[in-house]
Amino acid sequence: MIIKVKPENKDQRLDKFLVTKLPISRSQIQKLIKAGDILVNDQKISVHNFLKPGDKIKIPAQKIKNLTTAKKLEPNKKIKFKIVYEDENILVIDKPAGLLVHPTEKMEPDTLVNGLLAKYPEIKDVGDDKLRPGIVHRLDKAVSGLILVCKTQRAFDYFKNLFQKRKIKKIYTALVHGQMERAEGEINLPIERAKGKGKMAVKSQDQGGKEAITKYILLKQFKNFALLEVELLTGRTHQIRAHLNAIQHPVVGDKLYKQKWVKESLDLDRPFLHSTFLSFKNLDGKKLEFKSKLPTKLSKILRQIS
């Protein structure tokens, strides 16, 4: 199978371009590229390759077929989620901790996407990734709070553009270890996936790190903990958790990102990280703002340390 790059696709990144052409996820495409199964002009190429008009992309049709026949999203009526806002184009959902937003390559059947397909079957073709219909941004499985979902392609394209232009305000509440040195700050450290560890690590841009910027404000300082308001200016995987860990203030309850000096003294089986506030201009130009209270489990922790 060969795809020839047209002039209008000039300078698109290879993996992002192929997501719009193939019925598999971006992560699956990246694995095929890294394995040398996808070639550009008969040459092995990197995931970050930018295309030129006339480039010929060779794709292993049988491997694509194997991936698509083995992996299919199924609606799941058992998935429960709280809708805090809905119109003809979008949903704002208050996601509980422990619920995956979309399936990984293991094709878990009990994600938010599976629940959405049961209630809104029309979203199955919305977006640019067949395994993430309607999903324009995400929350980690262990993180709770507000998330925006698109019900139409028009909404998806609109909000994807807003996210890229950083015109959507996302604020989280986090409890971290230690005494904060400053009442507020900005963490500007590029991050990239750490090999074989399922986590992100701070890496220079020369090492493949992608720009990541996080702002924080100290809300309350406890003896051994600090309550922060955290704003995401970029949307990298695990960004808040990786950034706070990088400045020696790991999120309380986070088993993946922690320091050796941390002795967990609180009974918490999830990271103390909650998507508290979401604000944006809707398709009609009207500004919308949403707030989410801390889950009971996290509120109890604050009472415990007060």
Q: Which residues are catalytic?
A: 140
Tokens (6 digits) for 148? 């925006």
Q: Measured between alpha carbons, how far is 62 from 60 in angstroms, rounded to an integer?
A: 6
DSSP 95-117: EPTT--SS--TT--SSSHHHHHH
Q: Which of 252, 94, 266 is nearest to 174 (CA)?
A: 252
Contact call for residues 279 and 287 (beta carbons, < 8 A): yes
Contact call for residues 175 and 301 (beta carbons, < 8 A): yes
Q: Which of 168, 276, 137, 265 is nearest to 217 (CA)?
A: 276
Q: Coil, strand, or helix at residue 265?
A: coil
Q: Which residues contact 91 (CB under 8 A, 6 or more apart)?
A: 83, 85, 116, 120, 134, 148, 149, 151
Amino acid at 16: K
Q: Measured between alpha carbons, how far is 233 from 235 in angstroms, rounded to an integer?
A: 7
Q: Which of 123, 115, 128 is nearest to 163 (CA)?
A: 128
Q: Measured between alpha carbons, how far is 177 from 272 in angstroms, rounded to an integer?
A: 11
State the SS3 of 144-178. EEEEEEECCHHHHHHHHHHHHCCCCEEEEEEEEEC
